């Protein structure tokens, strides 16, 4: 009698346990697959607009056709890309190949989660073809950890109609720019739609000889950086000719520009397809950023494909990575001009330097600063942005805000 | 005697055996993680890539003393708790009392008032962000009556208040339902006796309803305290994860999130912060219990 009860109890508990644990089975038992075997490689990236996604799928389809033994599984991470990637890498469930922004690269490379690619590179791959600054962003101690897929620089977007109505020429220098912005400010329209964050004002911050980062530490609380940034604050607080997106109920510069709440914005390549899709009626042009003291400057935002160091299909992953960043793959991917090709040969072939809207963006590549300054950048940026915003809104003097932000950032870095 | 104790042992074993599935789940998902957080809080941890774990003793805790963002976060959270808990408790009580007074259509209003609680807080936050938008509903209304609008989302002086208003509005109805249930338990005879003694409605409310509801108020306050100390989703969505503008919507839980997942290698510090937050909540709850003396009524 007693035995029977025991048995029943055991049976029920085992069943419950079994059902509770079924979700936990592991599937990463395999090792490097042999040649000729079918392999599935996962590729993760952030989502773009529908056309961009179609282009990527097209590129991947070409690849699968040429490599019948490799299947590519595309995973799109739409929100908080880096948080998701980091967490998945920690959990051992990271994708084999993924996008990595140059800005996040040094930090991630330092942890050893990214595979160095030098030993895979063959002569056909032609490394020298990449724009050097873009490639250097993914180098650490002489090793290359990623190959750039594309990039974008910043350019001045201006509303043609508003400029001609106000009788303003496209500004070439900072002085012309502030004057134009003042003239263009009328009623609900601001002359300049600013983006008060470090990624966008970095070129201004260093325009007077200051350094934002020195030896991986924040060093922006200097007279020179302050002098570089103050003109932007004056546009907002003194001239009242600049606004930030939230002040006019927009979420970013492109939207503000499309809704014609700002006559000029400084944005990148990404704004061109957005404006075409969302605000096709806005007539606009692009120009190189206004020069400060006669010097050209702009930012370059650089994204690469990198390989997961813990991947079990490194050979197949390299096949994919080298195709996507190779001449053929990059040509398909950048053919519509949604992103600028990181290879010189592809850029020449596609001729974006002759495209009316994209020429200023391409021209910027030669003097651009790549948006990446060492492994501590995320901390520095977060602190800078927080304090700079209140200075931009005129809540506190710039020098004081920068000093506080620098102190806090360096404390967090230690 | 021997037989008796063996039987007892066996019964005990059986009991634990039957509980084992839930014990296992508890250990795996609740007790285990708690112990792991305590463990992590004494280490400098890098989970990514090659990984490293280095014992640093109390460094993570002492670091708090000169981390001004952590202090801002704590201050923001305390400010938030101090305003939201009393406000939502009071609002819930008033709503419950009016809906219990026997007005026409009170069933309908009970449902309408309860709706915000049923909506997910992420959705509510997005809706409120539209209303708070510079060209949104609230600013248009303010301009309509000749007032100047606010930049609710971008102005560091206002952003946290905007979240407070939203949260009071959305959680008060939940506590209102608890009050409504409690109001049914107050005997009608007490009110009748008061009426015979010539008490007016305010005296009845203040001298009978409020004291009779005291145990429930204490429950509501404690639940409110715990909930508000853990403010995360609203400020996260409001600031797109940064805690801005100018750290004004930075809360302790948001800071923990940032240290744990955004910056690399600060998981240990995040664990220490989480541990301290748990202590703060525990202390606040104990204080609340001590001051409300809930047993004294009966």
pLDDT tier at A15, thresholds 50, 70, 90:
low
The answer, yes or no, to whether residue A30 has pLDDT greater than 70, is no
Residues of B in contact with A112 (CB under 8 A): 48-50
Where, residue-wise, is CATH 1.10.3720.10 in chain B?
A: 61-297
Alpha-carbon dihedral sign for residues B243, B248, B252, B255: positive
Helices (H) then strands (E): counts for chain A: 17, 15
In whole angstroms, give the CA distance from residue A54 to residue A333.
Answer: 9
State the DSSP code for A368: P
In the beta sheet, which residues pair with residue B55? B43
Are B49 and A111 an interchain contact pair (Cβ–Cβ within 8 Å)? yes
Chain A positions in Cβ-Cβ contact with residue B150 (cut-off 8 Å): none
How far away is chain B from the Cα of A126, in angstroms, using its nearest Cα? 29
CATH 3.40.190.10 domain residues, chain A: 39-151+301-370, 153-299+374-413
CA A280 from chain centre, in angstroms, equals 25
More confident residue, B49 or A386: A386
Q: Residue B50 and residue A80: Cβ atoms within 8 Å? A: no
Task: Determine phi and psi for A73, rounding to 5 degrees.
Answer: -105, 115
- Neighbouring residues of A171: CB distance < 8 A, sequence distance ≥ 6: A156, A177, A179, A180, A287, A290
Q: What's the pLDDT score for residue A6? A: 54
* Assigned CATH topology for domain A39-151+301-370: D-Maltodextrin-Binding Protein; domain 2 (3.40.190)
For A100-121, write each residue's pLDDT tens digit.
Answer: 998 888 888 888 889 999 889 8
Pairing state between β A262-268 and A139-140? unpaired
As a whole number, mean pLDDT of residues A365-381 equals 85
Main-chain phi, psi angles of A101, to 5 degrees: -75, 140
* Residues on chain B touching A114 (C-beta within 8 angstroms): 49
List of E strands, A160-261: 190-193, 213-214, 217-218, 242-243
Collect all residues with Cβ–Cβ distance below 8 Å to A309 and sequence separation of at least 6: A112, A113, A114, A115, B49
> What tens digit of pLDDT does each residue of A282-326 get?
999 999 999 998 888 899 998 999 999 888 888 889 989 999 999
The mean of the pLDDT values for chain A is 85
Nearest CA in chain B to A90: B48
Which tens digit of pLDDT belongs to each residue from B163-197?
Answer: 999 889 888 888 998 998 888 888 888 888 988 99
**For B154, nearest residue in chain A (alpha carbons):** A246
Interchain proximity A20–B21, CB inside 8 Å = yes
Residue of B nearest to A19 (CA): B21
Query: Could you tell me if A353 lies within 8 Å of chain B, comparing CB atoms?
Result: no
Closest in B20, B153, B241 to A246, CB measured: B153
C-beta atoms of B263 and A9 within 8 A = no
Homologous superfamily of A153-299+374-413: Periplasmic binding protein-like II (3.40.190.10)
How far CA A59 is from CA of A152, A239, A305, A318, in Å, comes to 20, 49, 14, 15
* Mean pLDDT, rounded, for A16-36: 48
Model pLDDT, residue A25: 41
Mean pLDDT value of segment A182-211: 89
Residue A383's pLDDT is: 86
Report the relative pairing of strands A190-193 and A242-243 from DSSP bridges.
parallel
Question: Over the stretch B38-88, which tens digit does the pLDDT of each residue have?
Answer: 998 998 888 777 777 888 888 888 888 878 888 889 999 999 999 999 999
d(CA A129, CA A111): 28
Task: Write out chain B residues lying below 8 Å of A16, CB-based.
Answer: 21
User: In this structure, what are the phi and psi dihedrals at residue A333, rounded to the nearest 5 degrees?
Assistant: -65, -40
Cα gap A232→A241, rounded to integer Å:
10
Q: For residue B31, is the peptide bond before it cis, meaning its omega torsion is within 30 degrees of 0?
A: no
pLDDT tens track for A245-294: 888 888 889 999 999 999 999 998 888 888 988 899 999 999 999 999 88
Give B-chain residues touching A390 at CB under 8 angstroms: 156, 245-246
Q: How much is the average pLDDT of A48-68? A: 86
CATH architecture of B61-297: Orthogonal Bundle (1.10)
- DSSP at A171: P
Burial class (CB in 10 A: 0-12, 13-18, 19+), A315: middle
Q: Taking CB atoms and an 8 Å limit, are A246 and B151 in contact across chains?
A: yes
Residues of B with CB under 8 A from a CB of A: 14, 17-18, 20-21, 24-25, 46-50, 66-69, 133-136, 151, 153-157, 241-247, 258, 261-265
């Amino acid at each position: 009698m007693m035995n029977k009860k025991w048995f029943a109890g055991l049976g029920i508990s085992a069943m419950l346990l079994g059902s509770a644990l079924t979700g936990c089975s592991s599937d990463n038992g395999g090792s490097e697959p042999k040649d000729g075997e079918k392999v599935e490689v996962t590729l993760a990236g952030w989502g773009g607009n529908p056309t961009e996604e179609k282009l990527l799928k097209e590129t991947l389809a070409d690849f699968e056709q040429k490599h019948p033994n490799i299947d590519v599984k595309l995973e799109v991470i739409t929100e908080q890309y880096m948080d998701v990637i980091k967490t998945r890498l920690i959990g051992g469930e990271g994708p084999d190949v993924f996008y990595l922004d140059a800005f996040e690269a040094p930090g991630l490379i330092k942890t050893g989660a990214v595979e160095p690619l030098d030993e895979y590179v063959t002569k056909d791959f032609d490394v020298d073809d990449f724009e050097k600054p873009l490639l250097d962003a993914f180098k650490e101690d002489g090793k290359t950890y990623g190959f750039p897929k594309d990039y974008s620089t910043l350019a001045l977007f201006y509303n043609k109609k508003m400029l001609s109505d106000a009788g303003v020429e496209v500004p070439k220098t900072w002085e012309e720019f502030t004057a134009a912005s003042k003239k263009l400010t009328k009623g609900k329209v601001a002359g300049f739609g600013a983006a008060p964050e470090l990624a966008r004002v970095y070129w201004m911050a260093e325009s007077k000889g200051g350094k934002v980062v020195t030896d991986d530490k924040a060093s922006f609380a200097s007279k020179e950086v302050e002098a570089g940034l103050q003109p932007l604050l004056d546009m907002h607080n003194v001239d009242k000719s600049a606004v930030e997106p939230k002040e006019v109920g927009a979420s970013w510069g492109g939207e503000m520009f499309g809704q014609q709440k700002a006559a000029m914005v400084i944005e990148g390549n990404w704004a061109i397809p957005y404006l075409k899709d969302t605000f096709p009626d806005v007539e606009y042009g692009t120009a190189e950023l206004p020069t400060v003291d006669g010097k050209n400057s702009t930012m370059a935002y650089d994204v690469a494909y990198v390989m997961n160091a813990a991947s079990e299909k490194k050979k197949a992953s390299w096949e994919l990575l080298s195709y996507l960043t190779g001449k053929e793959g990059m040509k398909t991917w950048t053919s519509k001009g949604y992103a600028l090709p990181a290879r010189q040969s592809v850029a020449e072939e596609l001729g974006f330097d002759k495209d009316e809207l994209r020429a200023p963006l391409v021209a910027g590549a030669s003097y651009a600063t790549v948006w990446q300054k060492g492994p501590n950048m995320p901390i520095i940026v977060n602190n800078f942005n927080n304090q700079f915003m209140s200075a931009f809104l005129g809540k506190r003097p710039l020098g004081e805000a920068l000093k506080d932000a620098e102190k806090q950032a360096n404390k967090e870095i230690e | 005697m021997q037989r008796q104790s063996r039987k007892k042992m066996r019964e005990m074993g059986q009991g634990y055996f039957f509980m084992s599935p839930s014990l296992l789940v508890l250990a795996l998902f609740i007790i285990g993680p708690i112990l792991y957080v305590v463990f992590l809080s004494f280490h400098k941890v890098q989970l990514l890539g090659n990984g490293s774990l280095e014992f640093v003793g109390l460094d993570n805790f002492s670091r708090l003393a000169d981390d001004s963002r952590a202090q801002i976060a704590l201050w923001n959270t305390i400010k938030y708790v101090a305003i939201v808990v009393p406000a939502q408790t009071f609002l819930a009580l008033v709503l419950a009392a009016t809906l219990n007074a026997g007005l026409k259509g009170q069933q309908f209003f009970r449902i309408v008032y309860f709706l915000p609680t049923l909506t997910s807080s992420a959705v509510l936050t997005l809706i409120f962000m539209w209303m708070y938008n510079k060209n949104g509903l609230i600013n248009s209304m303010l301009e309509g009556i000749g007032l100047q609008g606010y930049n609710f989302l971008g102005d560091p002086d206002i952003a946290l208040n905007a979240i407070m208003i939203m949260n009071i509005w959305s959680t008060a109805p939940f506590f209102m339902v608890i009050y409504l249930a409690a109001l049914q338990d107050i005997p009608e005879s007490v009110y009748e006796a008061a009426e015979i003694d010539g008490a007016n409605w305010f005296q009845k409310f203040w001298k009978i309803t409020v004291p009779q509801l005291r145990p429930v108020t204490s429950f509501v306050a404690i639940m409110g305290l715990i909930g508000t100390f853990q403010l995360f989703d609203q400020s996260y969505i409001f600031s797109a994860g940064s805690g801005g503008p100018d750290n004004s919507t930075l809360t302790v839980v948001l800071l923990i999130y940032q240290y744990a997942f955004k910056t690399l290698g600060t998981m240990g510090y995040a664990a220490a912060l989480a541990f301290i937050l748990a202590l703060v909540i525990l202390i606040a709850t104990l204080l609340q219990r001590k001051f409300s003396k809930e047993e004294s009524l009966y």
